[in-house]
Amino acid sequence: MPARDTQETPPRFTEPFRDELTQLLRWRRDVRRFKPDPVPAEVIGELLDLACLAPSVGNSQPWRFVAVESAEARTAIRENFEAANAEALEGYQGEQAERYAGLKLSGLDMAPVQLAVFCDEQTLQGHGLGSRTMPETLRYSAILAVHTLWLTARTRGIGVGWVSILDPEQATNDLGVPENWSLVAYLCIGWPEEEHEDPELVRHGWQDRTADCRKLERR
């Protein structure tokens, strides 16, 4: 297909917009405490539409979304988390183990919306452009969709929590998705019970933010 020869006028983003974007990035937090209030289905649909505006290698759009709604599926994910969390706890000792045990590491108990995000590792869309040399960019693309959804959710006052303490193969099997899909993220979505600018792991003494995270190496 030939390239379009029309040029659209790009928007000009103002300084107030840039300031608000900075605030959005600062207040995008990993939410673990949710109110039980439902999130309207049309709002979730809007978030998914916006997530699909994320960049993807070769325009492959390899992200696949699965709404985890049934009691059976949620129970399987919850049991998966509990087993993985117990195993993770065994890797810590002393005070660090006590601190880990005291952390709230998921919103699985209250989040009204739970969304599993997969990467289709064998998608034909994009014809392998870019991903032939770096196959991992398919997953990177799906992660960008997660981040886009996360930010757009925050603009609506909705919180997102990323549950990474899971056995991904078990989750894939329990949710009955195609074998060529790989789990990228399990998201809890809903209205936050509380909101903070600083990360919860900082507040609870697990890990401070790196002071000089933008140190630039030169070669």
Evaluate whether residue 32 is within a structural domain: no
Domain span at 135: 53-183
Evaluate whether residue 26 is within a structural domain: no
Task: Report the chain's terminal Cα–Cα distance, integer Å.
Answer: 40
Evaluate whether residue 17 is within a structural domain: no
Per-residue confidence in pLDDT tens, the chain, 219 aa: 566 667 789 999 999 999 999 999 999 999 999 999 999 999 999 999 999 999 999 999 999 999 999 999 999 999 999 999 999 999 999 999 999 999 888 899 999 999 999 999 999 999 999 999 999 999 999 999 999 999 999 999 999 999 999 999 999 999 999 999 999 999 999 999 988 888 888 888 888 888 777 788 888
Fill in the amino acid letter for 100.
Y
Evaluate whether residue 200 is within a structural domain: no
Evaluate whether residue 92 is within a structural domain: yes
Evaluate whether residue 63 is within a structural domain: yes
Residue 166 sits in a domain whose CATH number is 3.40.109.10
Evaluate whether residue 45 is within a structural domain: no
Of 14, 130, 154, 12, nearest in space to 62 by CA: 130
pTM of the model: 0.91
Helix (H) or strand (E) holding 27: helix 15-27
Q: How many structural domains are present in the chain? A: 1
Evaluate whether residue 202 is within a structural domain: no
Q: CA angle, 83 as apex, 78 and 86 as ends, to 5°?
A: 120
